[in-house]
Amino acid sequence: MDQKKLLEEFEMLRKEMNKLGKIFGLDNKKVLELSRKIDKIHNELSKIQKNK
């Protein structure tokens, strides 16, 4: 996946996680799942930046 698409997905997931976190709390299963997905994307973006 290219950097632009990763950034778009990162932002979409971040917004969703924030919304659900406010509704259900930060320890909600879905919120934690989104957080893990965001972490993976962040790691991919970091690798891309290191390789530039």
pLDDT on residue 4: 95
Confidence of residue 19 (pLDDT cuts 50, 70, 90): very high
DSSP string, 10-35: HHHHHHHHHHHHHHH-TT-HHHHHHH
pLDDT on residue 52: 77
For residue 46, give its domain range: 3-50
Give the tokens for residue 23: 């509704």
Domain count, the chain: 1
The predicted model gives 15-40 an average pLDDT of 98
Residues 6+ apart with CB under 8 A from 10: 38, 41, 42, 45
pLDDT on residue 46: 95
